[in-house]
Amino acid sequence: MRQHLNALVTERALVLVSSARGAGLLDAIPEHRLVDMKNVCARLAPPLAARLQQTVELLGVTRRRFLEAAIIDALDMADRILESEGVPEALGEGRQRQSIEVEVTR
């Protein structure tokens, strides 16, 4: 368990980093105002869906925000693995894929 000061400083640091990244901006925009957004659906096993719901409720975030962060991390990891294993070169793709930034318009 973290010491009290360590927990406090870590919590505040993460809030600052999250705010600087613009986390939560999409959550503040009504669904009908989101432009050029794609719906990504997946059927999940009931235990996994329940775990997801429990986790987002505990964290106080939306499923969309949680899943978007998870997908970004998963894609970044996949890119690193593909690059380290030489897949782009083997397929003749001498370029690296770049992270996609979401621009929010009002």
Q: List, for residues 2-13, the tens digit of each pLDDT value.
A: 898 888 888 888
| pLDDT tens-digit map of 32-54 | 565 677 888 899 999 999 999 99
Query: How high is the mean pLDDT of the chain?
Result: 82
Q: Report yes or no on 41 lying in a domain.
A: yes
How many domains in the chain?
1
Q: Residue 63 — very low, low, confident or very high, per pLDDT cuts 50/70/90?
A: very high
Higher pLDDT, 98 or 47: 47
Q: Is 97 within the bounds of a domain?
A: no
Please tell me whether residue 98 adopts helix, strand or coil conformation. Answer: coil
Asked if residue 105 is part of any domain, the answer here is no
Which secondary structure element, helix H or strand E, spans residue 66, and what is its range? helix 63-84
Cα-to-chain-centroid distance, residue 65: 7
Q: Is residue 8 part of a domain?
A: yes
Mean pLDDT of 58-86: 92
Domain assignment of residue 103, yes or no: no
* Cβ neighbours for 2, distance < 8 A, ≥ 6 positions apart: 10
Residue range(s) defining the domain that contains residue 8: 4-90
Q: Is residue 106 part of a domain?
A: no
Confidence tier at 30 by pLDDT (50, 70, 90): low
Residue 106 pLDDT? 35
Q: What's the start-to-end Cα distance of the chain, in Å?
A: 42
Residue 101 resides in a domain: no
* Structural domain contains residue 84: yes
Q: Which amino acid is at 59?
A: L
Residue 36 gets the label, from left (phi > 0), alpha (psi -120 to 50) or beta, of: left
Helix axes 46-59, 63-84, angle to 10 degrees: 110
Query: Rounded to two decimals, what is the model's pTM?
Result: 0.66
